[in-house]
Amino acid sequence: MQLQVFILSMPMLCSALPSLYPAPAQESVGSSYWLDQGQREIRRVEHETIRSLLKSRAKHVVLFIGDGMGVSTVTAARILKGQLENSSGDEAQLSFERFQHTALAKTYNTDYQTADSAGTATAFLTGVKTRSGLLGVNGNAIRGNCSSLTDETRLTSFLRMAADEGRAVGIVSTTRLTHATPAAAYSHSVDRGWESDSSSTSDDRSRCPDIARQMLLNAADYKVILGGGRQNFLPEELKGKRKDGANLIREWQAKQGSLNCSRRAYIETRNQLLDLEPDKVDCVLGLLSSSHMEYHAENMMKQNLSERQPSLAEMTTKALELLTVYGKDTGLVLLVEAGRIDHGHHGNQANRALHETVALSDAVEAAVQLLKQKKLLDETLMIVTADHSHVFTMGHYGLRGQPITQLKYKRNATTGRLQLDKAGDDLPLTVLNYADGRGASKSRHDRWSINAPAEDTTKADYHHDAEKWRISRWRGRSCICQRSGLSPGSRVHEQTHVAHVIMYSAHLGPYASSQRESFQPTVAPNIKSAIFVNAAYIFKLVSGFVGFV
């Protein structure tokens, strides 16, 4: 009998710095490699069981992004949702978990194992992976170097492609509209931090305008834009951040006349949003907060409804109410981001992050119900995914029904009664934890008293325990889930596949109707495969059509 031995070599600890393992020789930081890779994957998908269905055109597209929503976040949010409905939580479902198929997406940037939101947004909106910190440009661009922004490095998002074809396009985000994810839908920036002219370090403002300015230059014809970040569009004398004196809100209003939008609406409040009627307005810009919008948990606690900002579900519903009218004949494309999941995790504030995730679930459900009511669901591709994960975990053998965001309890072995559980240092512990961040800013003995918690873990701004201290926790690297009712192949895909599936299904860009006849599969037809759903897709098969829900 032969003895086969597998030896795992481990690097020796030494003073010399290690060298980096090289990327595959065929990989390029430019656009062509990723576009070719995405098209090869689509060709393979054509041979799977849904090939005939995928030939149908998705008239409408809705892409939901949970920023920072890794698998552990989805698990904990599912439990929270159930507990908010007075159940143990484990048996609950987020709305998008009812979608038929799930797959995984790899979230690295071309230069980092752990991705940032700018590079990932560029990947799933353009179909090309790029460097960390870059928006709408390929990996040949250099962060902070304006001269590297050229025609060859610029990329086009599928939202821009759709608008150029006359479709009704919209963006909804709970972050500043100049923040990474929404900005990738319209901007070309070699630094995600150049949100306004006051934060830009570009030495050539005409070649590299700030991101707020680019929204006016490149997305003024998007029919609905809702989110935060008003300060980046206003001059300092109007409590804004712009040093050039420009009032980009007025410029947006003035520009709409030349874009066949005489009945324009600029709004700043929830009531103004809810009062919008599609037969009375043709385009909408809503800057609903000076910076990022408020966290959902705190916003919904306000008793005075007039003081509340709109929820993500309310913004999504209104955007679709408008876009389904504007795009009745041509179709609609909508990007929706739950951006503050990420922000909660950065602060080790699991309460905030999980309530934001439940709010995303509510928004997805609202979208499904509205499209179903309008009888548009069977021609809609809806995808729910994330851009990256976080170093967020749950463990410590929490009891079934254990309040997910609170201290851990155990049953007394003698009496069966619940009692506070303690770690080896005789101090309380939580079910939810982080690898690093502000939750480690105090020693455990300073943080807790021996007999009772020193801090209220139910508070929205509570910092859950972390192993190592950082002012803000790192993002985490893991595959993220993509869900849809029906997708080409339930497996692990490059994150760029999101954009290629959307472009293919909606006949955009390299998959436009005029080019589809020459787009011939090259994979052997006997290959068998499961239906795909990128780590956060959900495609729904309705009336014989592939609708992503």
Catalogue the long-range contacts made by 2-6 (C-beta closer than 8 Å, 24 or more residues apart): none
* 446 in the same domain as 362: no
Q: How confident is the model at residue 538 (pLDDT cuts 50, 70, 90)?
A: very low
Residue 337 and residue 445 in contact, taking contact as beta carbons nearer than 8 Å: no
Concatenate the DSSP letters of all residues of 314-367 into one string.
Answer: HHHHHHHHHHHHHTTTT-EEEEEEETHHHHHHHTT-HHHHHHHHHHHHHHHHHH
pLDDT classification of 465: cutoffs 50, 70, 90: confident
Q: Same domain for 300 and 200?
A: yes
Pair (329, 372) in one structural domain: yes
pLDDT, one tens digit per residue, over 118-143 is: 999 999 999 999 999 999 999 999 99
pLDDT of residue 284: 98
The reported pLDDT for the residue numbered 287 is 98
* 414 found inside a domain: yes
47 carries a ligand binding annotation: no
Q: Which residue has the higher pLDDT, 437 or 48?
A: 437
* End-of-domain residue from the set 409, 441, 473: 473
pTM of the model: 0.87
Is 464 known as a binding-site position? no
Q: Is 388 annotated as a binding residue?
A: yes
Q: Which residues have a Cβ under 8 Å from the Cβ of 199 and sit 6 or more positions away?
A: 193, 210, 241
Question: Residues 77-93, buried b or exposed e (16+ Cβ, 10 A)?
Answer: bbbbbbbeeeeebeebe
Question: Looking at the domain assignment, is residue 390 inside a domain?
Answer: yes
Q: Known binder of ligand: residue 445?
A: no
Contact (CB, 8 A) for 502 and 334: no
Q: Does residue 466 register a pLDDT over 60?
A: yes
What is the Cα–Cα distance from 246 to 238, expressed in whole angstroms?
10
Pairwise CA distance, residues 94 & 359, whole Å = 10
Q: What is the pLDDT of residue 17?
A: 58
11 has a pLDDT exceeding 60: no
In a domain, 296, yes or no: yes
Residue-wise pLDDT for 355-413, tens only, equals 999 999 999 999 999 999 999 999 999 999 999 999 999 988 899 999 999 989 999 99
CA 211 and chain centroid, separation = 18
Same-domain status, 406 and 438: yes
Which residues are registered as beta bridge partners of 531?
none
10 Å CB burial of residue 258 (0-12, 13-18, 19+) is exposed
Among 46-60, 477-491, 496-510, name the one with the lowest average pLDDT: 477-491
Give the pLDDT of residue 529. Answer: 26
Please give the C-alpha separations between residue 547 and each of 70, 103, 201, in angstroms, as whole numbers: 24, 16, 44
For residues 462 and 519, the model is more confident at: 462
Q: Which two tokens stand for residue 123?
A: 């990947």
Domain holding 421, by residue range, is: 399-473
Tens-place pLDDT, residues 204-251: 888 999 999 999 999 999 999 999 999 999 999 999 999 999 999 999
List Cβ neighbours of 163 (8 Å cut-off, separation of 6 or more): 169, 219, 221, 222, 333
Do 432 and 504 lie in one domain? The reply is: no
pLDDT tens for each residue of 212-224: 999 999 999 999 9
CATH number for position 236? 3.40.720.10
**CA atoms of 270 and 275, how far apart (whole Å):** 9
522 pLDDT band, cuts 50/70/90, is very low
Tell me: pLDDT of 540 over 60.
Answer: no
Q: Is residue 187 part of a domain?
A: yes
Same domain (yes/no): 258, 405: no
Q: Could you tell me if residue 22 is inside a domain?
A: no
Question: In the annotation, is 117 catalytic?
Answer: yes
- Tokens 């929205």 locate to 460
**Residue 45: band (very low, low, confident or very high) from pLDDT cuts 50, 70, 90:** low
Q: Which residues contact 292 (CB under 8 A, 6 or more apart)?
A: 174, 175, 176, 179, 228, 229, 339, 340, 343
What is the spatial distance between Cα 193 and Cα 200, in angstroms, rounded to a whole number?
A: 7
pLDDT value, residue 34 = 86
Handedness of CA 396, 431, 386, 194 (dihedral sign): negative
Place of tokens 């800057």: 287
State both tokens at 426: 């005789």
The answer on pLDDT for 448 being more than 60 is: yes
- The residue among 223 and 513 whose pLDDT is bigger is 223
Please check whether residue 431 lies inside any domain of the structure: yes
Asked whether the predicted pLDDT for residue 165 surpasses 70, the reply is yes
Give me the residues paired with residue 411 across strands: 418
The per-residue pLDDT for range 250-270, each reduced to its tens digit, is: 999 999 989 989 999 999 999
pLDDT value, residue 428 = 86
Q: What is the pLDDT of residue 484?
A: 58
Same domain, 389 and 424: no
Report the mean per-residue pLDDT for the chain. 84
Tokens of 128: 């090309």
Show the CA angle centred on residue 237, arms to residues 235 and 242, nearest 5°.
20
Residue 279 marked ligand-binding: no
Return the higher-pLDDT residue of 439 and 464.
464
Residue 181, annotated ligand binder? yes
Reported as type and span, the H/E element at residue 254 is helix 248-255
Alpha carbons within 13 angstroms on the beta-carbon side of residue 282 total: 12
Dihedral sign, CA of 485, 491, 497, 503? negative
Contact (CB, 8 A) for 340 and 349 = no
Separation of alpha carbons 172 and 228, rounded Å: 9
Q: Is residue 28 assigned to a domain?
A: no
DSSP reduced 3-state for 137: strand
Q: Mark whether 389 and 410 lie in a shared domain.
A: no
Per-residue confidence at 325, pLDDT binned at 50, 70, 90?
very high
**Per-residue 3-state assignment (H helix, E strand, C coil) for 29-76:** CCHHHHHHHHHHHHHHHCCCCCHHHHCCCCCEEEEEEECCCCHHHHHH
Which pLDDT does position 456 carry in this prediction?
79
Q: What pLDDT was estimated at residue 471?
A: 53
Confidence bin at 429 (pLDDT 50/70/90): confident
From the candidates 95, 117, 132, 484, give the one annotated as an active-site residue: 117
Query: Percentages helix, strand, coil for the chain, rounded to the nearest 5?
Result: 30, 20, 50
Same domain for 220 and 244 = yes
pLDDT at 537 over 90: no
According to the annotation, is 456 in a ligand binding site?
Answer: no
Give yes or no: residues 359 and 462 share one domain. no
For residue 2, tell me if it sits in a domain.
no
Number of domains in the chain: 2
* Residues above pLDDT 70, as percent of the chain: 80
Q: What token pair was written down for 439?
A: 């939750």
Last residue of a domain, one of 473, 500, 526: 473
Question: Is 188 annotated as a binding-site member?
Answer: no
The distance from CA 47 to its chain's CA centroid, rounded to whole angstroms, is: 29
Same domain (yes/no): 197, 298: yes
Quote the pLDDT of residue 202: 86
End residue of a domain, out of 473, 498, 530: 473
Q: What are phi and psi of 34, to 5 degrees?
A: -75, -35
The amino acid occupying position 512 is A
Statement to judge: residues 341 and 457 lie in one domain? no
